[in-house]
Amino acid sequence: MNRLSFSLVAGLLLVPGYFGTALAEEVKAGDLVIDHAWSRATPAGAKVGAGYLTIANKGTAPDRLVGGATPVARAIEVHEMSMKDGVMTMRPLRDGLTIEPGQTVTLAPGGFHIMFMDLKSPLKKGGQLHASLEFEKAGKVDLTFQIESVGAKAPMDMPHDHNMDMSHDHKM
């Protein structure tokens, strides 16, 4: 395959909607590696959306996800969903979410997640949401969330055998 053909094919693979959603980017910030940032599409009129991702702490000290900002919503909050006595509850983590050294934390449906509060417009499948997350040590980290279908359980680019650890034994 010549260089022009390869470039054309590679370019088409990155066009959302052509061969599925573009692959999520891995972002490094300080000792953190952030990957698989995605969100679900929202229905018209929805005032909140959720964001999911994986954060690995490769350093020797803990860091904490404390919030963020995006042009498409009034605020970003870090939340936790948990099941207690058969009742699902969701609450904001006022002190943020700690990522211990050597630990990987997965924010996923049914567990820890990011809430986009007071959306200015619906999140549409195949689109992207640009946001900045704020970490206590790593600081501001710019990310692009790929927007999947309303009922998506994981991003399209995540391997199907990926272990979605939603345990709630992390420090808050």
Give the pLDDT band of residue 167 (cuts 50, 70, 90). Answer: very low
CB atoms within 10 A of CB 159: 7
Q: Specify the 3-state DSSP secondary structure of 12.
A: helix
pLDDT at 7 > cutoff 50: no
Determine the pLDDT at residue 157: 56
Side chain identity, residue 80: E
Share of the chain above pLDDT 90, in %: 67
- What mean pLDDT, rounded, does the chain reach? 82
CA triple 47-95-72, angle to 5 deg: 25
Share of the chain above pLDDT 70, in %: 76
Average pLDDT over residues 28-43: 96
| pLDDT, tens only, 137-150 | 999 999 999 999 98
Side chain identity, residue 115: M
Average pLDDT over residues 128-140: 97
Side chain identity, residue 90: M
In this predicted structure, which of 39-48, 109-118, 145-154 has the lowest mean pLDDT? 145-154
Q: Specify the 3-state DSSP secondary structure of 128.
A: strand
- pTM, entire model: 0.77
Fold of 22-148: Immunoglobulin-like (2.60.40)
